[in-house]
Structures are given as structure tokens and as C-alpha cells.
Structure 1
Amino acid sequence: MINWKIRFKNPVFLAQVFLAFFAPILGYFGLTAQDLTTWDSVFNLLFGAFSNPYILLLIVVSVWNALNDPTTRGIKDSHQAKRYQWPK
């Protein structure tokens, strides 16, 4: 089980998940964040990404890597991390 409450209080975790979602999309299309200058371009990019199974696979793998704690088996937090009230 993952301690979601604590993870969402951690700005590093939020940045990891954000980048795990957007980096594969930008990389596949050969873009940088500076290329997204209008909301229309962002929505077109997301539509193109969600219609491409390869990009969806890349996103799933990237998000899995951001969620996974390599010190535990499977996708869960350690017993110590489950007791946290604030990120350490």
C-alpha cells in the first residue's frame, strides 16, 4: 500500500509524476516545453499522445518508475514510510 497522503505533500514526488507524464510525450514528438505556447497546442499534443499506444506505454512505464519504491517489493511503501505524517 502506498502512503498517497504523504506522497502528494511532497513537491519532488509531484514533479516526478508530472515529468513522467509529459517527458515521454514531448520526447516522442521532438518538442520542448517552450514549443507549447497556446492551450490549443497543448490539447492537440495530448490528443495525439492518447491516440498513440506506444506513447501510452511509455507514460505507463515512466509513471510506474516514479511510483515504485526500489527498497520494497512490488509497488508499495515501506512500513516506516506508511507511518510518516510529513515527507522526510
Structure 2
Amino acid sequence: MKVNWKVRFKNPHFVVQVILAVLVPILAYMGLSLEDLTTWNILGNVIIEAIKNPYVLGLVAVSTYNAINDPTTKGFSDSLQALTYTEPREDEK
């Protein structure tokens, strides 16, 4: 498995996608929305409860896999071209 993590984490869209892949299943299972997370204490309690629940961890794992996997390549690795990037590629107009 070869993934160009340095370049992926330089892309803000990828970072947001991974954060949402973790948070959304947790919030949905617990019947919460982002507006319910008004203190760090509440967020900490939600995360602890999620870690205690194997079903929620499974939902997070599947969601995160879907956020990270590149469906345009076979397997889980990035393409050979993507592995050579040092910055996220900008499509030309």
C-alpha cells in the first residue's frame, strides 16, 4: 500500500473529508448535530462514548476507508503518477 500522505494532507478538501468521515457517523448514531457540540467537554464525552461502541467504530472505519480510497486505481494505493507529486495537482483550464 503506497499512498502519498504528504500531498494528501496538503489538500484542505482531503483533510475536511477525513474529519467529516470520522465525525458524521458518530454524530448521526448519537442523534446529534454539530450545533450540539458547544463545549470541549461535550465533544470529549461524545468521542469517549463512540470509542466504547464497536458498532460506531465500524461505521467510522467504513466511512474513513471511503474517504481515503482512490476509486480510480486498483487496490488501495495511489497511482504511480500521484506518488510522484510534491503538491496537490491543479487541473489546467
TM range (shorter): over 0.9
- Runs of 4+, deviation exceeding 4 Å: none
SS in 1 for 2:6: helix
1:83 aligned residue: 84
2:4 aligned residue: 3
Aligned length: 88
Counterpart CA distance in 2 for 1:20 and 1:73 is 22
1:22 aligned residue: 23
**Residues 29-68 of structure 1, C-alpha deviation per residue, up to 9 Å, x if partnerless?**
1111110111111111001100000000000001100110
Aligned counterparts, 1:24-43, within 5 A: 24-43=25-44
Residue 74 of structure 1 and its aligned partner are, at CA, apart by: 1.4
CA RMSD of aligned residues (A): 0.6
Counterpart CA distance in 2 for 1:64 and 1:2 is 13
The reply on whether 1:74 has 2:75 as its aligned counterpart is yes
- Using the size of structure 2 for normalisation, the TM-score is 0.92
Counterpart CA distance in 2 for 1:49 and 1:74 is 29
Name stretches of at least 5 consecutive residues in structure 2 with no aligned partner: none
Residue 72 of structure 1 and its aligned partner are, at CA, apart by: 0.9
Amino acid at match of 2:53: N
Residue 73 of structure 1 and its aligned partner are, at CA, apart by: 1.3
Residue 85 of structure 1 and its aligned partner are, at CA, apart by: 1.5
